[in-house]
């Protein structure tokens, strides 16, 4: 199957966003906020929008979340049950005298306790900090310390392995509540979560918050350097709802699966909050990636909307199409991806496997929600991130001292957004200077380079730090990687610029092969020939190296900075989020 320039969409589907231009022209965040806010005086709480209003209404007995354990055994929670569980945790916090604005961290797998504590903390007016359960002691210490967490909810097993050794260095951490996996004696200085929950009432009046009060803390993925702590407020829920309806097309009867872990912003904004605000039923899988398991879940759980990431899509591609064919997916209607550029090959894999394209969308921890997307009712141009969400003004700019110039179509510049949407971050933890530096001439600068075509589609070029400058040309690592992936042997590729005395920089590619292909000179030449044919000699890699595994962040992004540091023998920098390829 070759890659078409446009994948056209039938015009007549009842999608949430049917007419992009008209919706864009008439949309306002004020209207969207008024539609949501449940407290009469304009105050708001994310947990009210996600739980209370459903638990008090028609959806009370509808399934909110189905958890799948290791053996794919389901454990279901209705909206009413999830609210009751969250209320118990909110009461528990009140009993511990945790005050509004204090931080409650979670270090848990994707188990029910994670979801009930997140909502319980929000209900109590505390700030929620979800941490990824695979972090080791030092990254955990850094995050708990800088955020000043008062409470940590984790399991006895994770506590013993990772937290006990850093506990002394966390003077602000007053309470550690444990989910008991191992049983036995309770470690010193900890509390048994279940015992406290059993004693707590399942009735709780959710704290009405000001829209600008802090709700969530999230650390960035650490792809370009040391992870930054990003602050989000309760008003963000307005953007969570709007973006999930527009970009993910969430509708009443959908069964939705977001594969991201809540330790990353996608797993919170679209894996905890937005789906419940929209009142859908979601699937949470406690296990990690496994191609066969994932296809079984999509089929057996009747998933209708699936939100995943390029790294997973590439792993599915690597696993081959035979596995997909073991099931059928009559309910699956919309596929979306975020986190890294989605190569055209990835979009088309959706067509091959499910007869539906993947819809790429773009956003960052800082933006709190999806900003640019391919919509269900809009034609896709494979390789493009799509168009800005109604209510979001995006542009391609070039910085000039304290001002910016907006660039015409097809010129590459920095992707910038007009501040003011509700899920916009309100600061970096302990780094006001860095936060201020993001804003120039009335724009928020994203640090990503992109271009916009004449029809308003945005195309990702690379992170500002990763773009390669060779003989005066700007080369997009994304474009080179996408071309390398057109070769049938290539599973994924990471491309960097290597200093060169004549050209400035030359392109070097690292490729990971699909199973069944043998690294060697002949294959190297063949891949090089494909790249030259598609890209031209000036842009194609000068050198291709085979890698067993490319270094990736735990959120699944290729760490080009690490490929580069290793290539040049430079210090490797902060590796707290390195997953694999070490
Ligand atoms: P750090 O800021 O610590 O270096 P990070 O930028 O990877 O890490 P995130 O906030 O998780 O942290 O990721 C946002 C970034 O991911 C975006 O700025 C962009 O570079 C990349 N990204 C996300 N979605 C897409 C997409 N659809 N296409 C291209 N790039 C994307
Ligand atoms: Mg970033």
Per-residue model confidence as pLDDT tens digits over 185-201:
999 999 999 999 999 99
pLDDT for the residue 580 = 63
Distance 341 CA to ligand 1 centre (A): 9
pLDDT for the residue 37 = 72
* Any ligand 1 atom below 6 A from CB of 385: yes
Which range (255-264, 367-376, 550-559) has the least confidence?
550-559
3-state SS, residue 296: helix
Distance 223 CA to ligand 2 centre (A): 7
Q: State the ligand closest to the CA atom of 558.
A: 1
* Any ligand 1 atom below 6 A from CB of 503: no
Closest CA to 567 of 547, 537, 540, 538: 547
Residue 163 has pLDDT above 50, yes or no: yes
pLDDT for the residue 41 = 85
Q: Encode 460-471: b = buried (16+ Cβ within 10 Å), e = exposed.
A: bbbbeebbbebe
* Any ligand 1 atom below 6 A from CB of 415: no
Q: What percent of the chain has pLDDT over 90?
A: 89
pLDDT for the residue 183 = 85
pLDDT for the residue 12 = 63
Question: Which residues have a Cβ under 8 Å from the Cβ of 469 and sit 6 or more positions away?
Answer: 475, 497, 504, 505
Across the range 374-386, mean pLDDT stands at 97
* Any ligand 1 atom below 6 A from CB of 103: no
Signed CA dihedral, 424, 425, 426, 427: sign only: negative
* Mean pLDDT estimate for the chain: 95
pLDDT for the residue 180 = 97
Q: How confident is the model at residue 1 (pLDDT cuts 50, 70, 90)?
A: low
pLDDT for the residue 528 = 97
- Cα–Cα distance measured from residue 140 to residue 528, given in angstroms and rounded to the nearest whole number: 42
Residue 582 has pLDDT above 50, yes or no: no
Contact 333, 389 (CB under 8 A): no
Question: Which residues have a Cβ under 8 Å from the Cβ of 391 and sit 6 or more positions away?
Answer: 24, 27, 28, 29, 32, 242, 421
Mode of pairing for the β-strands spanning 387-388 and 394-400 = unpaired
Separation in Å, CA 374 to CA 6, 144, 379, 420, 424: 12, 36, 8, 22, 20
Distance 448 CA to ligand 2 centre (A): 8
* Any ligand 1 atom below 6 A from CB of 338: yes
Across the range 387-400, mean pLDDT stands at 97
- H or E segment and range at residue 74: strand 74-78
Ligand 1: which atom is nearest the Cα of residue 366? 10
- Cα–Cα distance measured from residue 480 to residue 482, given in angstroms and rounded to the nearest whole number: 5
- Cα–Cα distance measured from residue 135 to residue 278, given in angstroms and rounded to the nearest whole number: 31
Q: In degrees, to the nearest 5, what angle opens at C-alpha 302 toward C-alphas 300 and 304?
A: 145
Across the range 14-32, mean pLDDT stands at 95
Separation in Å, CA 106 to CA 120, 142, 177, 555: 12, 14, 10, 17
**Residue identifier of the C-alpha nearest atom 31 of ligand 1:** 340
Q: What percent of the chain has pLDDT over 70?
A: 99
Which range (225-229, 268-272, 304-308, 429-433) has the least confidence?
225-229
* Any ligand 1 atom below 6 A from CB of 227: yes
- Cα–Cα distance measured from residue 361 to residue 337, given in angstroms and rounded to the nearest whole number: 6
Protein residues placing their CB within 5 Å of the ion ligand 2: 220
Distance 222 CA to ligand 2 centre (A): 7
Residue 498 has pLDDT above 80, yes or no: yes
Give strand ranges (E) for 114-213: 127-131, 151-155, 175-179, 191-192
Q: Within a 13 Å sphere around the CA of 84, how many CA atoms are in the beta-carbon half?
A: 10
Closest CA to 417 of 386, 462, 372, 466: 372
Question: Which residues have a Cβ under 8 Å from the Cβ of 294 and sit 6 or more positions away?
Answer: 259, 312, 316
**Tens digit of pLDDT for each residue in 81-99?**
999 999 999 999 999 999 9
Q: How many CB atoms lie within 10 A of CB 294?
A: 23
* Any ligand 1 atom below 6 A from CB of 224: yes
Closest CA to 64 of 270, 249, 274, 276: 276
* Any ligand 1 atom below 6 A from CB of 450: no
In 320-467, which ranges are continuous DSSP H helix?
344-354, 432-437
Residue 4 class from Cβ within 10 Å (0-12 exposed, 13-18 middle, 19+ buried)?
middle
- Cα–Cα distance measured from residue 522 to residue 532, given in angstroms and rounded to the nearest whole number: 15
Residue 160 has pLDDT above 90, yes or no: yes
* Any ligand 1 atom below 6 A from CB of 555: yes
Output the pTM of the full model. Answer: 0.95
Contact 469, 400 (CB under 8 A): no
Question: Which residues have a Cβ under 8 Å from the Cβ of 131 and sit 6 or more positions away?
Answer: 105, 106, 107, 140, 143, 144, 263
Length of the chain: 582
Q: State the ligand closest to the CA atom of 228.
A: 1
Across the range 337-347, mean pLDDT stands at 95
Contact 425, 232 (CB under 8 A): yes
Residue 499 has pLDDT above 60, yes or no: yes
Q: State the ligand closest to the CA atom of 386.
A: 1
**Tens digit of pLDDT for each residue in 424-476?**
999 999 999 999 999 999 999 999 999 999 999 999 999 998 999 988 888 99
* Any ligand 1 atom below 6 A from CB of 301: no
Closest CA to 206 of 402, 50, 315: 50
pLDDT for the residue 474 = 85
Which residues lie across from 282 on neighbouring strands? 65, 256
């Amino acid at each position: 199957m070759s890659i078409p320039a446009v994948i056209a969409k039938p015009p007549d589907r009842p999608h949430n966003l049917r007419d992009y231009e008209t919706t864009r022209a008439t949309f306002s965040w004020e209207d969207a906020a008024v539609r949501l806010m449940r407290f009469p005086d304009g105050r708001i709480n994310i947990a009210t929008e996600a739980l209370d209003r459903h638990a008090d209404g028609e959806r009370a007995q509808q399934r909110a979340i189905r958890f799948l354990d290791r053996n794919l055994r389901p454990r279901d929670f209705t909206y009413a049950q999830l609210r009751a569980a969250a209320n118990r945790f909110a009461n528990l916090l009140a009993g511990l005298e945790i005050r509004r604005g204090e931080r409650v961290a979670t270090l848990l797998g994707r188990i029910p306790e994670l979801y009930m504590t997140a909502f319980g903390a929000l209900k109590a007016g505390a700030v929620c900090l979800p941490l990824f359960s695979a972090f080791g002691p030092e990254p955990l210490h850094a995050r708990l310390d800088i955020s000043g967490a008062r409470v940590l909810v984790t399991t006895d097993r994770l506590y013993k392995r990772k937290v006990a050794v850093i506990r002394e260095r966390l003077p602000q951490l007053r309470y550690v509540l444990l989910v008991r996996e191992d049983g036995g004696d309770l470690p010193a200085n900890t509390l048994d979560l279940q015992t406290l929950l059993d004693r707590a009432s399942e009735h709780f009046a959710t704290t009405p918050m000001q829209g600008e009060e802090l709700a969530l803390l999230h650390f960035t993925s650490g792809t370009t350097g040391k992870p930054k702590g990003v602050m989000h407020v309760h008003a963000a829920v307005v953007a969570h709802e709007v973006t999930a309806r527009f970009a993910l097309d969430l509708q009443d009867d959908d069964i939705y699966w977001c594969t991201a872990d809540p330790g990353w912003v996608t797993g919170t904004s679209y894996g905890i909050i937005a789906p419940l605000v929209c009142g859908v039923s979601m699937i949470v899988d406690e296990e990690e990636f496994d191609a066969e398991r994932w296809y079984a879940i999509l089929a057996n759980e009747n998933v209708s909307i699936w939100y995943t990431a390029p790294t997973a899509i590439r792993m599915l591609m690597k696993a081959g199409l035979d596995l997909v064919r073991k099931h059928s997916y009559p309910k699956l209607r919309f596929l979306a991806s975020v986190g890294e550029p989605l190569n055209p090959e990835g979009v088309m894999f959706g067509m091959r496997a499910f007869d539906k394209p993947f819809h790429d969308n773009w956003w960052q921890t800082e933006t709190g929600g999806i900003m640019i997307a391919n919509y269900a009712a809009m034609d896709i141009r494979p390789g493009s991130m799509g168009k800005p969400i109604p209510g979001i003004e995006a542009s391609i700019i070039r910085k000039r001292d304290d001002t910016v110039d907006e660039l015409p179509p097809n010129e590459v510049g920095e992707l910038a957004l007009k501040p003011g949407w509700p899920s916009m971050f309100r600061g970096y933890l302990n780094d006001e200077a860095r936060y201020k530096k993001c804003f120039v001439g009335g724009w928020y600068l994203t640090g990503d380079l992109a271009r916009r075509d004449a029809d308003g589609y945005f195309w990702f070029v690379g992170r500002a730090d990763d773009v390669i400058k060779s003989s005066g040309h700007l080369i997009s690592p994304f474009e080179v990687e996408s071309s390398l992936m057109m070769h049938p042997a290539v599973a994924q590729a990471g491309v960097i610029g290597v200093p060169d005395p004549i050209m400035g920089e030359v392109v070097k590619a690292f490729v990971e092969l699909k199973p069944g292909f043998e690294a060697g000179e002949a294959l190297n030449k063949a891949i090089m020939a494909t790249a030259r044919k598609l890209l031209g000699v000036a842009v194609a890699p000068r050198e291709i190296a085979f890698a067993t595994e490319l270094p990736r962040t735990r959120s699944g992004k290729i760490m080009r900075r690490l490929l580069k540091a290793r290539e040049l023998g430079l210090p490797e920098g902060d590796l707290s989020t390195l997953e694999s390829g070490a």
